[in-house]
């Protein structure tokens, strides 16, 4: 049911508002709340879902945590305000993995976010609700956040397009985040072209021109140990792309080692401080007291385990300093890798496997063994997140569960990365870049 800018009393609203899917939202707007936004839209209105850790005026920013689900926000986060100027009308707060600390969006307080077409499977996370409502058609675009793959993973598992901008390129004020080194806001849509339009709304500028024959690196580390469904989608896609881009086999080497070594020390040190500050403001306590209460009252077992581990054995200042140096070294090695091979971007499967079962309890069956689900699904996205690089994910043709291809560019080379991804999506779909869900 489309949005309309009519001021009549019979204003129609989205199915998401009238009949919200269980588990996909933490809060939805009423028809009256949507109608009140419409006169503010300067262009043709479009429905926007916002991940529950991003501030929206008048809605509750719970971050998927019942303890923080206290009061409406007084002001929009800057990224929400920017999208409103292009016609965005917020229809609700999308569910997520509690505190963004996970990849399944199996939320104890608000329900599990399920893959819309196959509800026995997870929509991924932590921005699972945002990807799911776009896949279902209940929002045209949806805001998410990404610390270690939280946009790329659910985009891939839900069969939609997702864009993780370079860290620092989009505003992050007004979010409940985990890492100032790794966090960024980002977006989901039905096509890469729409992602590029939204990016232009947020940061301005002009579209990137086409390159005559782009050179795309294919990292060996990110093609190893793929699920049969993923391999069956990735290999023909790469073969088809070889006609329009030059594919260059590469090894990530030190980029891989350094980024994975630094990942958890960085996020544990920074998350403790960021979450402590957010909880302190919400609960009227000092940061240490507030973090302790958060640890005690967080409801998702996997998130509680991570937070308790940080309390029991906190990352030391020396360990954090080492991780900071490793992050800087990884970024320098990545820039050198792109330069050495004259690469415009990398391309690889967003995840080594398609969507896990919705009741995934921390481990998952993969290639005949039980493996840690978090480590499996963040394996390919952790390096890019640590590098602060732009990552565009779009769905590939597959008869079964969705599989996404990620195009990762140089840091702050977002426009070129979006254009390359759009061109590659067009080549693989044989259309104008519109993707299915």
Place of tokens 């969507």: 355
Residue 103 is classified by DSSP as: S
100 Rama sector, left if φ>0, alpha if ψ -120 to 50, beta otherwise: left
Average pLDDT, the chain: 93
Q: What is the pLDDT of residue 35?
A: 82
Place of tokens 């499996």: 376
pLDDT digits (tens, 9 = 90+) for 223-260: 999 999 999 999 999 999 999 999 999 999 999 999 99
Question: Could you please report the per-residue DSSP string of 175-239?
Answer: B--S-TTT-EEEEEESBHHHHHHHHHHHH---PPPPPSS-EEEEEGGGGSS--HHHHHHHHHHHH
The runs of H, that is alpha helices, within 341-413 are 373-378, 382-387
CB 294 within 8 Å of CB 307 = yes
Q: Any bridge partners for residue 114, and if so which?
A: 122
In degrees, rounded to 5, the angle at the alpha carbon of residue 263 between the alpha carbons of residues 295 and 366 is 90
In whole angstroms, give the CA distance from residue 276 to residue 279.
5
> Which residue bears the tokens 């699904």?
377
Work out the angle between the directed axes of helices 287-297 and 254-283 (0-180°, nearest 10). 100
The pTM of this model reads 0.95
Q: What percent of the chain has pLDDT over 70?
A: 93
Provide the token pair at 404.
Answer: 């996404």
Contact 145, 53 (CB under 8 A): yes
Query: Where does the pLDDT of residue 147 fall: very low under 50, low under 70, confident under 90, or very high at 90 and above?
Result: very high
pLDDT in tens, 172-184: 999 999 999 999 9
Distance CA 298, CA 51 (A): 18
- Residue 2 is predicted with a pLDDT of 47
The DSSP symbol for 75 reads: S
Report pLDDT digits (tens) over 80-139. 999 999 999 999 999 999 999 999 999 999 999 999 999 999 999 999 999 999 999 999
Distance of alpha carbon 177 from alpha carbon 271, whole angstroms: 7
Residue whose entry in the numeric block shows the structure tokens 């990807």: 131
Contact 395, 436 (CB under 8 A): yes
pLDDT above 80: residue 205: yes
Q: How confident is the model at residue 434 (pLDDT cuts 50, 70, 90)?
A: very low
SS3 content of the chain, % helix, strand, coil (to 5): 40, 20, 40
Sign of the CA dihedral 418, 421, 427, 429? Answer: negative
How many angstroms separate the Cα of 37 from the Cα of each of 16, 48, 65, 90? Answer: 17, 12, 27, 8
The answer to whether residue 436 scores a pLDDT higher than 50 is no
Rounded Cα distance, 19 and 434, in Å: 27
Residue 432 has pLDDT above 80, yes or no: no
* Strand extents, DSSP E, 176-269: 184-189, 215-219, 246-250
- Residue with the two structure tokens 């200042």: 317
- State percent of the chain over pLDDT 90: 86
Report the range of poorest mean pLDDT among 10-14, 15-19, 164-168, 276-280: 10-14
End-to-end CA distance of the chain: 18
Catalytically active residues are 51, 126, 150
Kindly tell me the number of DSSP H helices and DSSP E strands found in the chain.
14, 17
Q: How many CB atoms lie within 10 A of CB 211?
A: 14
SS3 149: coil
Q: Tell me: the pLDDT tens digits for 293-333? A: 999 999 999 999 999 999 999 999 999 999 999 999 999 99
**CA–CA dist 224, 325 (Å, integer):** 28
Buried b (16+ CB within 10 A) or exposed e, 271-303: bbebbbebbbebbebebeebbbbbbeebebebb
Q: Are 412 and 431 in contact (CB under 8 A)?
A: no
What pLDDT was estimated at residue 435?
44
**Would the CA dihedral through 37, 40, 46, 52 be positive or negative?**
negative
Please tell me the predicted confidence (pLDDT) of residue 15: 61
């Amino acid at each position: 049911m489309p949005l309309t800018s009519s001021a009549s009393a019979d204003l129609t609203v989205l199915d998401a508002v009238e009949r919200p899917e269980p588990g996909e939202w933490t809060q939805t707007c009423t028809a009256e709340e949507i109608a009140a936004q419409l006169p503010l839209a300067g262009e043709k209105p479009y429905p926007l879902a916002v991940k529950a850790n991003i501030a929206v005026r008048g809605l509750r920013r719970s971050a998927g945590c019942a303890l923080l689900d206290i009061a409406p926000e007084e002001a929009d986060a800057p990224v929400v305000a920017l999208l409103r100027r292009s016609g965005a009308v917020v229809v609700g707060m999308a569910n997520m993995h509690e505190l963004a600390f996970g990849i399944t969006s199996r939320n104890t307080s608000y329900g599990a976010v399920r893959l819309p077409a196959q509800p026995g499977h997870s929509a991924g996370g932590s921005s699972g609700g945002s990807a799911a409502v776009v896949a279902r058609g209940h929002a045209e675009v949806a805001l998410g956040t990404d610390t270690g793959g939280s946009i790329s993973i659910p985009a891939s598992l839900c069969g939609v397009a997702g864009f993780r901008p370079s860290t620092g390129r989009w505003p992050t004020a007004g979010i409940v985040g985990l890492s100032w080194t790794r966090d960024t806001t980002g977006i989901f849509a039905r096509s890469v072209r729409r992602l590029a339009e939204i990016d232009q709304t947020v940061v301005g500028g002009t579209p990137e021109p086409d390159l005559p024959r782009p050179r795309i690196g294919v990292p060996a580390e990110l093609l190893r140990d793929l699920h049969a469904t993923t391999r069956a989608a990735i290999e023909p896609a790469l073969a088809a792309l070889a006609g329009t881009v030059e594919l260059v086999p590469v090894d990530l080497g030190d980029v891989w080692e350094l980024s994975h070594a630094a990942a958890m020390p960085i996020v544990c040190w920074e998350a403790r401080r960021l979450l402590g500050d957010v909880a302190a403001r919400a609960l009227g306590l000092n940061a240490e007291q507030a973090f302790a209460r958060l640890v005690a009252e967080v409801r998702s077992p996997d998130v509680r385990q991570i937070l308790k581990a940080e309390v029991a054995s906190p990352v030391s200042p020396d360990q954090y300093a080492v991780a900071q140096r490793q992050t800087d070294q990884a970024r320098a090695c990545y820039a050198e890798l792109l330069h050495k091979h004259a690469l415009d971007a990398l391309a690889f499967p967003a995840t080594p496997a398609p969507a896990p079962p919705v009741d995934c309890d921390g481990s998952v069956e993969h290639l005949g063994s039980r493996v840690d689900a978090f480590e499996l699904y963040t394996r390919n996205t952790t390096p890019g997140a640590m590098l602060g690089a732009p990552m565009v994910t779009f769905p590939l043709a597959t008869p079964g569960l969705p599989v996404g291809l990620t195009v990762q560019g140089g840091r702050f080379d977002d426009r070129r990365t979006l254009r390359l991804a759009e061109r590659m999506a067009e080549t693989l779909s044989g259309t104008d870049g519109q993707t299915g869900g």
